[in-house]
Amino acid sequence: MNSTTSRRTFLKTATAGTAAVSMSATSYARVVGANDRLSIAVIGCGQRGFGAHMPGVHKYAESENMEITAVSDPWRVPRERAAAQANEWYGRPARQFVSHRDIMALEDIDAVMIASCDHQHTTQLIAAAEANKPAYCEKPLARDMKSLLGCYDAVKKSGIVCQIGTQGRSRPGPTGCRKLYKTGVLGTVSRIEQRRNSTKPYWYSRLKEVKKSDVEWSEFLMDEPARPFDAELFTGWFGYRDFSDGPVPQLATHFLDMVHYVTGATLPTSCVAQGGIFTYKDEHNFTCPDHVESSWIYPEGFMVSYSTNFGNSSGKSYRIYGSGGVMDLSNHDAPTVSGEGAANRGELRGEVVIEPVEVPDHFLNWLQCIRSGETPNASIEAGFQHSVASIMSVQAMDTGRRQIYDDQRREIRAG
């Protein structure tokens, strides 16, 4: 494209979804204009990438001077939808790619958002670190210790700004809980628990019809063993152990991260867990457990307990129990504290809403840190910590043996 061609003329004459892809990084940057504009790429255009990441950063397009200029996904349908959305927002479609590797090769991409499948997170975040591109990466950060250590070390070595997608750290309610917890008003905390129940596993809602010709199957499999294309594996990957390990990595990582954030704890010392498929045994042959129960012990002196029942939605809870009272985070927008069940009656009496502490939301915090170089709310350290706890739980469930974490050696062993 000639440098004298106006942006308006280009947009009128270019074919959406093709012309932008063919442009070089240099010419694309020239069309964008402003030198300090953040050029962002979204890796993974599914429900999380398209439904949360894209609108999450777009709301700050003007205030933070950013634009989504490229997207990648092995599946053509969501990839084209994401590019079209960018066209609607910014007046030109985002460049489309099948692989994250093509994104990393673009010199004009300033930062990436990784909203892909669980088994792809560490590979793509390592690539971002090696390309020196700030990254927002969904949880769980990693599924095994080898991948976790490789990813953590790569990010630390590069020094990139990295935000992990445990967004509770950027919410006023939990931040207020953190502030109140530090006062010691709960007394001696002995137990923290969440019961996160539902009538049906979340992976059923992800099943969709998909044409083999629309998918780059090997790009989806990535480092997993080769096998024939399977539409159920592809769209319902949340429910298969090949690509995800179920409710603890997918759901409890938010809970574990909140435990760490509110209490200041970082890593558990031991974990026991059980799980299985008790309710949903059908033609889909999902392999992730629909029921799990896991308990961790932390060196701070309390036990953390998590369970999921995907056969009945009753009995949900999210509480921190102390000798002086209870903190209830069931409603993270309006958590409460009370003197309920106190062993040592202190200053807590009736239930009151905890005063929130206003903070920038998770996406804004990341964008601001890219410019300032400061550490974001859910740093790579936070991702490392929730991953260790999650991996311990999965290994305990799989082996039937208690798992011990050795912080000095950075390893998990049976004990």
Q: Assess whether the previous peptide bond of 140 is cis (omega < 30° from 0).
A: yes
Chain centre distance of CA 139: 3
pLDDT tens per residue, range 338-362: 999 999 888 898 999 999 999 999 9
Q: Could you give the CA distance from residue 389 to residue 384 in angstroms, rounded to a whole number? A: 9
Q: Which domains does the chain have, with CATH numbers?
A: 7-168 (3.40.50.720), 171-357+380-414 (3.30.360.10)
The full DSSP string for 149-216 is HHHHHHHHHHT--EEES-GGGGSHHHHHHHHHHTTTTT-SEEEEEEE---SS-GGGGG-----GGGB-
Are 253 and 261 in contact, with CB atoms under 8 Å apart?
Answer: no
Residue 26 has pLDDT above 80, yes or no: no
Query: Tokens at residue 399, please?
Result: 């082996």
Question: Burial level of 282, CB count in 10 A (0-12/13-18/19+)?
Answer: exposed
User: What rounded mean pLDDT belongs to the chain?
Assistant: 92
pLDDT tens per residue, range 168-218: 999 999 999 999 999 999 999 999 999 999 999 999 999 999 999 999 999
Chain centre distance of CA 388: 15
The full DSSP string for 299-339 is TTTEEEEEEEETT-----EEEEEETTEEEE-SSTTS-EEE-
pLDDT tens per residue, range 276-302: 999 999 999 999 999 999 999 999 999
Question: Burial level of 149, CB count in 10 A (0-12/13-18/19+)?
Answer: middle
Q: Enter the pTM of the model.
A: 0.91
Predicted pLDDT of residue 35: 53
